[in-house]
Amino acid sequence: MWQQHDLERLQKRLSYTFRSPDLLKQALTHRSAKGAHNERLEFLGDSILGFVIAARLYHLFEKGSEGHLTRLRAHLVREKTLAELANEIEVGNVLKLGGGELKSGGYRRASILSDAMEAILGAIYLDGGMESAQRVILGLYDERMKSLTLDQATKDPKTQLQEWLQSRKQELPIYDVTKTEGQEHNRTYWVSCETRDGQQKTEAKGSSRRKAEQAAAEKMLSLLLGEK
């Protein structure tokens, strides 16, 4: 399935060479494919990533409050950012997917890319230890960390929308799950966000209800602010 030069190229972009290439292969294997897949590695990588980013932010922003640091961490470890990192090092080109996911373009899907990115970090930890995982993570995030400011510690879209409406003495919006698709372990949610007067309505999807609600709220806020 994998060409050796493809795996070598990915390791070069990670600035890390695996002692056990099988760990990397497992990290690149989606649950829809046969064989050992990356779910457990994803779980591990998620925890390691969160810790490394939290520690870096703690030292980087000595005057940052818990709220500021929490929001910055959430921004850096969210699905969208992880998918961007995966695209930058071309993880999608070496993913192993089942037939259905392959046909539907799963190698471009943000949820699959972000999960694979976390799994790769988990695999690096198992292969080379915490120091190696930390070095790779900080290397991947170097440019983003350099441009980071406390001003970017913005509140999440749902909170921003809530405060915008309340400042205008308007009621909070209604969120409703309009559709779900996929099996329980790999479900996609469609959520609508509608103003109480029924004048404005947006819809968005996500790999969890929370993510779909945040995306729908972000669309609603842009709509109300007259942004395209």
- List the alpha helices (DSSP H) in the chain: 4-14, 21-27, 39-60, 66-77, 79-88, 99-103, 110-128, 130-140, 142-146, 157-167, 209-224
Q: How many CB atoms lie within 10 A of CB 109?
A: 19
**Is 118 a residue of the active site?**
yes
* Options 42, 79, 115, 118, the catalytic residue: 118
- Position of tokens 């070598």? 8
* Options 42, 46, 127, 218, the catalytic residue: 46
Q: Taking a C-beta distance cutoff of 8 angstroms, is the pair 172, 104 a contact?
A: no
112 vs 33: CA distance, rounded Å: 13
For residue 74, the number of C-alpha atoms closer than 13 Å in the C-beta half-sphere is 14
Q: Which residues does the annotation mark as catalytic?
A: 46, 118
